Amino acid sequence: MHFQSVTFDLDGTLLDTVADLAEACRLMLDDLGAPQRSVAEVHRFVGKGMAVLVERCLTWETPPTAERLQAGIDAFKRHYATVNGAQAVIYPGVLAGLAAWKASGLKLGVVTNKPGMFTEVLLERTGLLDYFEVVVSGDTTTHKKPHPEPILHACRLFGVRPDRNLHIGDSENDILAARAAGSSAYCVPYGYNEGKPVDTVDCDALVSDLLAAYRQALTHKTA
């Protein structure tokens, strides 16, 4: 196989976490006396990290003040720490796909915009943590996806050149980060894509699930 390592997005790629995120948002908005958001709205707001999720929830005609945004972030952190993983669901094909990738001997990692205080806890609660050698969270590096630094950081930890890494995600953020890092990019059609159809994203392969991604990688051709 061309690849030596694979990095995976977390929310929307490995796990459906929108129920937990929506519950934390509901409790946060209740604390602040703000109008509630639907689960569909929260689904659309996910993708660029916790602070952006909270800001989007609190934005109506105008964005929230810095003080109100910080109050929202603090409340969200408190509530999400309690509900994190409670209703999270592993997507179909994830366990079979991770088992295939692991058996191939490739180095596996997670690259997510989720804050570190929630990432490994979530992976452990859902039984996925042991699949991964490297976990890069939204606050591990200075920048989040779509900046390439999180993927580049994972590659440095792996000791693998970025062009021998494959990144798999569910949104344009993942594809842009992989492209900028010099890694190949596969995309799954489910998950959280901020309302932009995933088939408009310029990825190397659109795959139905992680097991299909593994099979696709076996025949991957470089340019």
- Ranking 40-54, 65-79, 130-144, 146-160 by mean pLDDT, the lowest is 40-54
**Given this model, what pLDDT does residue 200 score?**
58
Specify the CATH number for the domain of residue 161.
Answer: 3.40.50.1000
For residues 199 and 160, state if they share a domain.
yes
Full DSSP string of the chain = ---SEEEE--BTTTEE-HHHHHHHHHHHHHHHTPPP--HHHHHHHTTS-HHHHHHHHH-SSSPPPHHHHHHHHHHHHHHHHHHTTTS-EEPTTHHHHHHHHHHTT-EEEEE-SS-HHHHHHHHHHTT-GGG-SEEE-TTTSSS-TTSSHHHHHHHHHHT--GGGEEEEESSHHHHHHHHHHT-EEEE-SSS--TTS-GGGS--SEE-SSHHHHHHHHHT----
Same domain assignment for residues 12 and 22: no
The pLDDT of residue 198: 65
pLDDT in tens, 162-183: 999 999 999 889 999 999 999 9
Q: Please identify every residue annotated as catalytic.
A: 9
Q: What is the pLDDT of residues 22-36, one digit of tens each?
A: 999 999 999 999 999
- Structure tokens given for 200: 């408009």
Residue 101, in any domain of the structure: yes
Cα-flanking dihedrals φ and ψ of residue 111, to 5°? -125, 110
What integer pLDDT is reported at residue 57 of this predicted model? 97
User: What is the residue range of 41's domain?
Assistant: 18-83
pLDDT of residue 223: 53
- Does the pTM of the predicted model rise above 0.75? yes
> pLDDT tens-digit profile of 43-94?
899 878 889 999 999 999 899 999 999 999 999 999 999 999 999 999 999 9
Contact criterion met (CB below 8 Å) for 171 and 194? yes
The fraction of the chain above a pLDDT of 90, given in percent, is: 85
Question: For all residues of the chain together, what is the average pLDDT?
Answer: 93
Q: Is the pLDDT of residue 142 over 70?
A: yes
- Residues 54, 98, single domain; the answer is no
Q: What is the CATH number of the domain that holds 72?
A: 1.10.150.240
Is the CB of residue 135 less than 8 Å from the CB of residue 101?
A: no
Read off the pLDDT band of 136 (50, 70, 90). Answer: very high
Give the domain-ending residue among 83, 115, 137.
Answer: 83
